[in-house]
Structures are given as C-alpha cells and as structure tokens.
Amino acid sequence: MKLTAMTNDEIRRINQDAIREYEDFKSQKLELTMARGMPCAEQLDLALGVLEALHARSEFANSKGDDCRNYGVWNGLPKMRAIFSDMIGVPADQIVLGNNSSLQMMFDCISQGYTHGFGGCEPWCKQEKIKFLCPVPGYDRHFAVTEYFGFEMIPIPMLKTGPDMDILEELVNKDPTVKGCWCVPKYSNPTGITYSDETVRRFAALRPAAKDFRIMWDNAYCVHDLTDTPDTLLNLYEECLKQGTEDHVLFFASTSKISFPGAGVSALAGSEKSIAEIKKRITVQTIGPDKLNQLRHVLFLHDIEGVHKLMQGHREILEPKFQLVQNALQEELGDLGIAKWSKPNGGYFVNLDVMNGCAKRVVNLCREAGVVLTDAGATFPYGSDPNDSNIRIAPTFPPKEKLAQAMHLLCICVRLAASEKLLSERA
Ligand code: PMP
C-alpha cells in the first residue's frame, strides 16, 4: 500500500518501526562507505597480470621500434590506441593516450579552451560569458571542473533516452555563449541511462551558434555491461562524419574500471583537426606519456577481445551486488510509493529518487549511523538538487555482506524520512 494512502496512525506506526530499527543500527557502530564508484579489491585483482606483464622482459620496443622506457611517442603506443579505437569507435590515429586519468584529460581540454581557445576563436577567459550544459543528475566531477573555471552551468533534464534534446538544441543552436555540454552516453553516471540512437543522431546534427562549442563525450562505461541484455550506443563519431560536425566532439575513456583507477591508461579522441590543435598543447606539456604502463596493458589485454574477457570477470563480481541492491529496494520500499530507482544494464551506479525534500535527510541519517553515501545534491551543478530527491548508490566497493547492511539501513532511512515528512505535513 502507498504511504500517502495510509491513515496517520498507520504512518506513525511505520515511522516508529523505522526509528526503532534505525536506533538498533546506530548501536552497531558501522563504518561503511557507498560514496564513490570504486572497484573492489577482487576486481582490482583481476588485472594483476598487468603488473606481471613486464617482469623479466628485456625487450621494450613497441611495434614501431620506439623504446617504451624512453621519452617520446606523444600520442601513445599504436596497439593501445587500437584497443581504445575498438572501445570508443574513433580511428586509432585520432586517439591520444594519457596517464591514469581521463578526468585530467577533460580538465586539460577545458583549460586549453580557457587559455587558448578552440577553432581560432577567442580564448574563453576573454569572452564575457561561458555556459556549459549539464545533464542532471550527472557526474559531480564534471560539474566541479566547470565550476573551477567559473563557467555558468545550465542543468538539462535527463529523460529515458538521454538529455532532453529539445531544450539542449534550442540552447546550443541559438546561444553563442553555450560552449560545451557534458555527456556520459553509456550507462550514465548516475542514472545508468544509455543515450538512444535518436539522441546520438541529434547530437551529431547540432548546429552550434558558437564555433568553439565542444561536446565532452565521456564514454567512461563503454564496455561495462552487467547483464545478458547490454545497452548499445550508436557511434557518435560516424554520425558526425555524415553531418560534417566531427570537430564539435571530444571523446574520452580510460581503463580506470577495466584495470586500475590509480594506474590505468586514459584516452582522448577527436577529429583530425581537433587532435592537431590539441597536439600543440600536449607536446609542450610533456615529452611523452607513461608508455611502459601502456605496454604492459597491451601485453595483458592484447586486443578488444581481451578487454571483453576481463570485463566478464568484473561482471561476475558486480552483477550479484547490483542484484542485491535491486532486491533490497524492491523488498523494503517496493509498495510504499516513496522511492523510484534505476535498474541499469551496466555501469557503476543505481540512481535512487526519494520523496521530494527527503534526500539530504536520508543521507544525513545514514551518515550518523555509519554509512557514508555520496552527498545529496552532488549529482547536480553547485551541489544543489532543486527537488532534494536524488541519491546515488555506488554498490561496487563494499563486500556483499556490508552492502546488504548498508542497503538495509538506507531503506530504513528512506522510510523514516518519508513518514516523518508526511506526518509533519499532515500535522
Ligand atoms: N567519467 C565518469 C563518468 C566517471 O564516473 C568517472 C569515475 N567515477 C571518471 C570519468 C573518472 O575517470 P578517470 O579515472 O579516467 O579519471
């Protein structure tokens, strides 16, 4: 039965039960975190072969004869770029490899727009106003980068098909101060949504009012399937070629959730023109990336088949955790009508929307009882969720038993906050 359809007495009983269960939990003095989307130790162990790949090796040349121990090869090893090419669908010679963080590559691109400008336009720092479109809920670190440069962030609602393209097109195509748009097109952080074919085509067909507009296509979860019915994402690069709009897009990915977040390989890709422009910066920034790490990734992964095989191992560890989250939510909140949640086919998150005005309360209650969640509001620009309803669940890191405890507590807190709210509204 829906909580809103209950009598005050019935709600009071639910509230009192939740308080009692909550106090029980508090006395256990738990210390758990579901705050960030990190792989667990078992997942990291799957890639230990990366570290062993270079042991006792006396040959450090890549396929072109460059010594990987030395400086040089500004854009990274061809075989590693070929693996990324198969992952993100952009030709290998238009891919540049970085060190462990694609977020850093994104930051550096924005920084380049800020100091030097894109496409011969005035640097963003000299333009009066810069706006970035931010599909919400979205990835907090994208928003943090945008805020760091002082750009105005405009939230764009996420629909089941991706960002609301009617709103997005109107802004991009008419407002020359709109310079960028963040996208996590597959298994979006945190909604788990994969952009529909039509959405991808509409991105490719954008006719930006600003010549220096860039889509930040962060394909962080491109091979991170968790079910037998994985989502498929249309290739934006190919769609852009058909439209002649390939210069508008910068593509990003990394092996952070394939091998190691702390010691993986990242990638940036774009049109020939974009890469030529970015090359001018990168070849001043560094005399070459960490090619030994690229080499050991190549030796360990071999090719895209190797990536898929490894990701199957990740799936075996993660699928039961995601299932546990679904079961807990269904069993403990299913009929009450006080929460909605996503059931993603991949990625790293489950998106939970609680009753308006309750997300902060739920997250605080959890924290006081020893379970740390991502801050309420973090999935919105400026950390401000207008409905105070969105909570990001990151089930990958805790062991299953702890995840079960954390989910139980979370559900208790959702019931507690919702019943408290309804009772105070009816008082
Ligand atoms: N993009 C998205 C959408 C992410 O969720 C994450 C990790 N949480 C990153 C980028 C970070 O990637 P990297 O480790 O390559 O910096």
Q: Are 189 and 139 in contact (CB under 8 A)?
A: yes
Sequence letter at residue 108: D
The alpha carbon of 224 and the centre of ligand 1 are apart by a number of angstroms equal to 13
pLDDT of residue 427: 87
pTM for this entry: 0.97
Residue found by looking up tokens 């760091």 in the block: 148
The alpha carbon of 192 and the centre of ligand 1 are apart by a number of angstroms equal to 14
pLDDT of residue 55: 80
Q: Are 158 and 188 in contact (CB under 8 A)?
A: yes
pLDDT per residue as tens digits for the range 121-175: 999 999 999 999 999 999 999 999 999 999 999 999 999 999 999 999 999 999 9
pLDDT of residue 59: 77
Which residues form ligand 1's pocket by a CB distance below 6 Å? 37, 101-103, 139, 184, 189, 218, 220, 254, 256, 261, 266
Distance of CA 219 to the CA centre of its chain: 8
* Dihedral sign for Cα atoms in the order 314, 317, 320, 326: negative
Kindly state the helix (H) or strand (E) to which residue 254 belongs, with its residue range. Answer: strand 249-254
User: What's the order of all strands across the beta sheet hosting 249-254?
Assistant: 95-98, 266-269, 249-254, 214-218, 178-183, 131-136, 152-159, 162-163
Choosing from 110, 139, 255, 265 the residue with most ligand 1 atoms within 8 A of its CB, the one to mutate for a pocket test is 139
* Structure token digits, residue 9: 């007495």
Taking the chain (427 residues) in consecutive chunks of 10 residues, what is each chunk's mean pLDDT? 96 98 93 93 97 80 83 95 98 97 98 97 97 98 98 98 98 98 98 98 98 98 97 98 98 98 98 98 97 95 98 98 98 96 98 98 97 96 97 97 96 98 94
Sequence letter at residue 382: Y
Closest CA to 102 of 257, 321, 252, 214: 252
What topology does CATH give the domain 54-302? Aspartate Aminotransferase; domain 2 (3.40.640)
3-state helix, strand, coil in the chain (%, to 5): 45, 15, 40
pLDDT of residue 56: 65
pLDDT of residue 335: 92
The alpha carbon of 196 and the centre of ligand 1 are apart by a number of angstroms equal to 21
Nearest CA to ligand 1 atom 4: 220
Nearest CA to ligand 1 atom 11: 103
Choosing from 43, 84, 102, 221 the residue with most ligand 1 atoms within 8 A of its CB, the one to mutate for a pocket test is 102
Give how far Cα 107 sits from Cα of 59, 143, 268, 372, Å: 35, 11, 11, 27
> What are the extents of the domains in the chain?
3-44+308-426, 54-302
pLDDT of residue 62: 73
Q: Are strands 32-34 and 371-373 parallel, antiparallel or unpaired?
A: parallel
How many separate helices (H) and strands (E) can be counted in the chain?
A: 14, 13
> Where does 3-44+308-426 sit in CATH, by number?
3.90.1150.10
Nearest CA to ligand 1 atom 2: 220
3-state secondary structure of 158: strand
Q: Are 291 and 76 in contact (CB under 8 A)?
A: yes
pLDDT of residue 315: 98
Kindly state the helix (H) or strand (E) to which residue 400 belongs, with its residue range. Answer: helix 400-426
Give how far Cα 256 sits from Cα of 116, 253, 351, Å: 29, 9, 21
Choosing from 143, 189, 293, 349 the residue with most ligand 1 atoms within 8 A of its CB, the one to mutate for a pocket test is 189
Q: Are 314 and 389 in contact (CB under 8 A)?
A: no
* Residue 101 φ/ψ, nearest 5 degrees: -125, 115
Q: Do domains 3-44+308-426 and 54-302 have the same CATH topology?
A: no
Distance of CA 78 to the CA centre of its chain: 26
Closest CA to 418 of 332, 302, 348: 332
State which ligand 1 atom lies nearest to the alpha carbon of 255: 15
